[in-house]
Chain A
Amino acid sequence: MRVIETLTVPGTVDSLSKIAEYVKQVATIAELNHKATYKLRLAVDEIATNIITHGYAEAGLTGEIYLRADLDNSRLTLAIEDTGAIYNPDEKAVLQHEYLSQTLETREAGGLGVHLVLASVDEFRYERAGDRNRNIFIMHRNQ
């Protein structure tokens, strides 16, 4: 795999538009179609938002968000790393089915983002790498 682009931005909400531009740029290089590009942007935006609000702000921490895109013939792999509090999105995914069966009156506000992530990308995984959280998004290119 070859690294096509990297981006490092401060872990604040002001960085979200810069992250979106970056995702659009690498999706263009990978020749993803409009829908796949939109979904990848959505997934990355949701996780970046979680990192900024939960991993950094609520934990009283500051730090950067590191993005990196790798490309091969069949897929685009985008990794986001941060040094914030340990935050495993997979743990949030468990209650999704129950959540979606509720009406809007009774729903809690959280949990939506992770659901969108899982519904948007072809593959998603979380891992802990040293002092970093690493979230990996994969989009298949043959669509």
Chain B
Amino acid sequence: MEINLRKLQEIQVVELIGDVDASTAPEVQQEILPLAQPNSKLLLDMSQVPYMSSAGLRVLLSLYRQATAQDGKLVLVGLSEDLQDTMSVTGFLDFFATGDTLEAGLAQLKETVA
């Protein structure tokens, strides 16, 4: 599992590379949960995540709650059809802001500034 962090102005971009299952989810959770600070804007780029199990959904659930509690914004981009299916069948998809590309995600987060 590879986790790359970078800041684009006020937006924290998190790029995940690899499968998220019960063996990698704890590492992901540990790295990204602290990024949900008061009013923070988080973009999770999942375009290089070919697989995600419920262990990954639980990380997203924690991140969602943390971001909401901190009045932050969270956008997921690059979800494959497989990941979208998993999030849809568990009722997760409706709760998250999503975008097809990094650019679309950044645009969504910038809009919320105004």
Chain A residues in contact with chain B, CB under 8 A?
13-14, 16-17, 20, 35, 38, 41-42, 45-46, 49, 52-53, 100, 103-105, 107, 109, 112-113, 115-116, 119
Contact = CB atoms under 8 A, between A and B. Distances in A.
Nearest to B80: A38
Given A42-B53, A104-B64, A105-B65, A119 B89 contact: yes
In which size bucket is the chain B interface?
Answer: 20 to 34
Nearest to A99: B91
For the complex, would chain A's binding face be called helix, strand, loop or mixed by DSSP majority? Answer: helix
Contact of B23 (A16, A46, A115): A16
Nearest to A37: B82
A104 B92 CA distance: 8
B1 to A, nearest CB: 11
A106 B99 CA distance: 25
A38 B51 CA distance: 8
B22 interface: yes
Interface stretch (B5-13, B30-38, B54-62, B106-114): B54-62
B61 A49 contact: no
A17 to B, nearest CB: 7
